[in-house]
C-alpha cells in the first residue's frame, strides 16, 4: 500500500502500489503467479518482485492493485491459492544480469564495498537510485548469464553477503 509506495523492493525495483506485483519468501524474482481468492473465485496474475510476507501463516503479500482486483483491498487478508505459471527463465542472449550485493544510503559505504569486491571481481559497479524519500547506492556485479550470476551469488552468500540476482533492463 501507500506506506511502501516509492520505496525499494528486495529485487532493487521501486515499489509501485498500482502494479500487479507481489512478495513471496522463496519464489524467484520474475516468477509469474496466478493468485486466486478462495472466498470469491476471482484470480489475477502477478509478478514476484519482493520478499515477504513476514507474518506467520501468510503465503504472499500483494500490491494494492492486486489486492483490489481480488477484492481484498478492504479486509487486507483472504484465503488464497497460488500457482506458479512461469519461473524466471532467460529467453534472449541479449539479456543482462547482475548480482546486487549491497544497497546503502551512504555513497562512502558503497565505495568501500565496491573496492573490497573488486579484489575478486572485475565487473563491480555502483548504481544510484532515487526514491520518493531517499537516495540509494546499490553495489552490483555484472554477469554474462543467469547461471554465472547465480554461481557468483552463491559464493557471496557463503561469505555472509545477502545477494539478489537481477535482470538488467
Q: What is the pLDDT of residues 31-71, one digit of tens each?
A: 889 999 999 999 999 989 888 888 888 999 999 999 999 99
Give DSSP secondary structure letters for the chain: -TTTTTSBPTTSPBP-TTS-EEE-SSSPTT-EEEEEETTT--EEEEEEEE----STT---EE-HHHHHHHT-TTTS---EEEEEEE------TT-EEEEEEEEES-HHHHHHHHHHHHTT-S-EEEEEEE-SS-EEEEEEEEESSHHHHHHHHHHHHHTT---EEEEE-
Same domain, 159 and 111: yes
Phi, psi of 27 (to 5 degrees): -65, 145
Domain boundaries, position 100: 96-168
Q: What CATH number does the domain containing 151 carry?
A: 3.30.70.1070
144-157: pLDDT as tens digits: 887 888 889 889 99
Same domain, 38 and 101: no
93-122: pLDDT as tens digits: 456 788 999 999 999 999 999 999 999 988
- Asked if the structure places residue 109 within a domain, the reply is yes
What CA–CA distance (Å, rounded) separates 37 from 33? 13
Same domain, 114 and 132: yes
Q: Give the pLDDT of residue 2.
A: 58
Same domain, 61 and 122: no
Q: What CATH number does the domain containing 39 carry?
A: 2.40.40.10
Confidence of residue 132 (pLDDT cuts 50, 70, 90): confident
Q: Give the pLDDT of residue 1.
A: 60
pLDDT at residue 91 tops 60: no
Same domain, 32 and 70: yes
- Average pLDDT for residues 86-90, to the nearest whole number? 51
* 8 A C-beta contact, residue 102 and residue 161: yes
Q: Give the pLDDT of residue 155.
A: 92
- Asked if the structure places residue 110 within a domain, the reply is yes
Q: Give the pLDDT of residue 118.
A: 93
Look up the pTM and report it.
Answer: 0.55
Q: Give the pLDDT of residue 85.
A: 85
Domain final position from 59, 86, 113: 86
Q: Give the pLDDT of residue 89.
A: 47
Amino acid at each position: 500500500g501507500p506506506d511502501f509506495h516509492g520505496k525499494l523492493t528486495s529485487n532493487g525495483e521501486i515499489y509501485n502500489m498500482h502494479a500487479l506485483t507481489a512478495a513471496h519468501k522463496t519464489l524467484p524474482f520474475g516468477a509469474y503467479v496466478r493468485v486466486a481468492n478462495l472466498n470469491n473465485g476471482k484470480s489475477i496474475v502477478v509478478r514476484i518482485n519482493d520478499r515477504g510476507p513476514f507474518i506467520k501463516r501468510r503465503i504472499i503479500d500483494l500490491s494494492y492493485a492486486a489486492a483490489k482486483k481480488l477484492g481484498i483491498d478492504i479486509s487486507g487478508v483472504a484465503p488464497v491459492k497460488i500457482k506458479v505459471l512461469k519461473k524466471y527463465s532467460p529467453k534472449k542472449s541479449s539479456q543482462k544480469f547482475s548480482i546486487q550485493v549491497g544497497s546503502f544510503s551512504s555513497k562512502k559505504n558503497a565505495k568501500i564495498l565496491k573496492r573490497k569486491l573488486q579484489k575478486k571481481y572485475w565487473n563491480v559497479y555502483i548504481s544510484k537510485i532515487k526514491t520518493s524519500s531517499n537516495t540509494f547506492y546499490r553495489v552490483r556485479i555484472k554477469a554474462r548469464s543467469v547461471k554465472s550470476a547465480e554461481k557468483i551469488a552463491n559464493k557471496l552468500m557463503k561469505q555472509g553477503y545477502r545477494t539478489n540476482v537481477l535482470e538488467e533492463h
